[in-house]
């Protein structure tokens, strides 16, 4: 567990974040402004700092600079409701561990804190330092299918065409979106990602379009939404299939007029945004069931790109595994041949996200040593393999049900831990349990 300092002038958010992290077993101190935050850096000596960028009194950047200047600097998570490419670049240049755009989920903050602590434990055990390794912004494309994806992205990078990224959860749709932005003429402006499925419907309009002071209870100041934050840059609307019909109407109007109106406001504000939408859902089926607007679909589906599931790009697994292990401080070639064969045969229902989580788990357990077949078996429950005799007889739903049940069994029924093992969100886990009828 860790000592965590939260510097946040939004009292309800400060209270919720403090309670959540306290319930996770961390020692938490809070501050509402820059001066008290800087004082707590010295008196409380936190290991992790979570600070808002724009405080009513002061700046989170000053707290970040002061924190990183200490002999044993804490990791800093910088959060903001006003994302710009300039502030993001400045945050990373000053040494921020993570840069998040509000609204964020408490579970998301908890996962980042866990990654920080796991990494510190690993570095302490092995003396290793994680090396940033990657190809094309972290996209691994040894397989023919992923090479085709990159060919499609390269053809559309220089345009302003709207893109629809399709693929199962965990396939890396956001990474592809970031790659498109980073190589586009808009790369010097903001990339803003909004997970539409993670934001309550009552807050989504504010998150997308912003709101004026007094627009609703708790709207104590004007807030800039994602569209304005991404002006002249790129906006990723992830999980677009989770957006309600009423919000779909507002989105359609914005795409047609290229103007937004903040919640509670009357002013039409022009926006210049390159839109990328992403979904794991069958939008065509949703149109037939009247849960997704056909006119919005055609606005979004101008240039579709489908990201293949990991089971269809097995040639990428060795390079992906090496990439993730290097991120965690491992030398290349530390996976036994039999263990790599098992990684190649596994069906990966959680896709690349699951492989990343498994690699992280393996590296921690291996303590810097060789990753053996026995170690891999201890991390992966009895799992569906490509070579299993009855594999061809099982449907994808049957495979998914079996994998979820195995993960629940491995975690003694803890749904949050089972979701993490599978590389999916807790919300996604509950949704799949309901859809698949798993009690």
Show the domains of the chain with their CATH numbers: 3-126 (3.40.50.2300), 144-306 (3.40.50.300), 312-436 (1.10.8.60)
Q: Are residues 415 and 387 in contact, defined by beta-carbon separation less than 8 angstroms?
A: no
Rounded Cα distance, 83 and 232, in Å: 12
**What's the pLDDT score for residue 32?**
92
**What's the pLDDT score for residue 81?**
73
**What's the pLDDT score for residue 5?**
96
**What's the pLDDT score for residue 439?**
67
Handedness of CA 7, 9, 11, 12 (dihedral sign): negative
Rounded Cα distance, 170 and 164, in Å: 16
**What's the pLDDT score for residue 173?**
94
Helix ranges, 24-158 (H): 34-43, 60-68, 85-93, 106-126, 144-156
Rounded Cα distance, 325 and 329, in Å: 6
- Residue numbers in the chain where pLDDT is lower than 50: 85, 123, 125-135, 332-333, 383-394
The angle subtended at Cα 179 by Cα 176 and Cα 182, nearest 5°, is 155
Q: Are residues 326 and 365 in contact, defined by beta-carbon separation less than 8 angstroms?
A: no
Name the DSSP class of 280. Answer: S
**What's the pLDDT score for residue 39?**
92
**What's the pLDDT score for residue 381?**
59
Q: Are residues 363 and 329 in contact, defined by beta-carbon separation less than 8 angstroms?
A: yes
Angle formed by the axes of helices 317-327 and 337-345, nearest 10°:
120
**What's the pLDDT score for residue 120?**
67
**What's the pLDDT score for residue 181?**
93
**What's the pLDDT score for residue 386?**
45
For residue 283 the two structure tokens come to 């939008």
The pTM is what?
A: 0.61
């Amino acid at each position: 567990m860790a000592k965590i300092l939260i510097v946040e002038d939004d009292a309800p958010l400060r209270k919720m974040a403090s309670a959540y992290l306290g319930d996770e077993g961390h020692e938490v101190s809070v501050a509402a402004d820059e001066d008290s935050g800087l004082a707590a850096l010295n008196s409380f000596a936190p290991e992790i700092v979570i600070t808002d960028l724009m405080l009513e009194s002061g700046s989170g950047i000053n707290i970040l600079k002061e924190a990183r200047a200490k002999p044993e600097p804490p990791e800093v998570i910088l959060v903001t409701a006003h994302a710009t490419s300039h502030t993001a670049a400045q945050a990373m240049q000053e040494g921020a561990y993570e840069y998040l755009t509000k609204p964020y989920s408490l579970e998301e903050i908890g996962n980042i804190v866990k990654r920080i602590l796991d990494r510190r434990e690993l570095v302490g055990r092995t003396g290793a330092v994680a090396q940033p390794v990657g190809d094309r912004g972290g996209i691994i494309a040894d397989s023919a299918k992923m090479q085709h994806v990159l060919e499609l992205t390269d053809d559309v990078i220089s345009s302003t065409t709207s893109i629809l990224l399709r693929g199962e959860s965990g396939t890396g749709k956001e990474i592809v979106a970031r790659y498109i932005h980073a190589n586009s003429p808009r790369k010097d402006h903001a990339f803003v990602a909004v997970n539409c499925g993670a934001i309550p419907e009552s807050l989504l309009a504010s998150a997308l379009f912003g709101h004026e002071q007094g627009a609703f209870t708790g709207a104590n100041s004007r807030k800039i939404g994602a569209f304005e934050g991404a002006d002249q840059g790129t906006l990723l609307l992830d999980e677009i299939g989770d957006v309600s019909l009423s919000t779909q109407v507002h989105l359609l109007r914005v795409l047609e007029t290229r103007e937004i109106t903040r919640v509670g406001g009357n002013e039409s504000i022009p926006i210049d945004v390159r839109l990328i939408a992403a979904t794991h859902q069958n939008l065509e089926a949703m149109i037939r069931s009247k849960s997704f607007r056909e006119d919005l679909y055609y606005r979004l589906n101008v240039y579709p790109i489908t990201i293949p599931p990991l089971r269809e790009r097995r040639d990428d697994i060795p390079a992906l595994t090496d990439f993730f292990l290097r991120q965690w401080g491992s030398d290349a070639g530390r996976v036994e041949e039999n263990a790599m064969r098992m990684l190649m045969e596994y069906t990966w229902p959680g896709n690349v996200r699951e492989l990343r989580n498994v690699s992280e788990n393996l590296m921690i357990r291996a303590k810097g040593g060789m990753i053996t077949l026995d170690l891999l078996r201890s991390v992966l429950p009895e799992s569906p393999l490509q070579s299993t005799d009855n594999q061809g007889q099982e449907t994808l739903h049957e495979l998914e049900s079996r994998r979820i049940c195995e993960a629940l069994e491995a975690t003694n029924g803890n749904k949050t831990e089972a979701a993490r093992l599978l590389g999916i969100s807790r919300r996604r886990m509950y949704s799949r349990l309901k859809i698949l009828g798993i009690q």
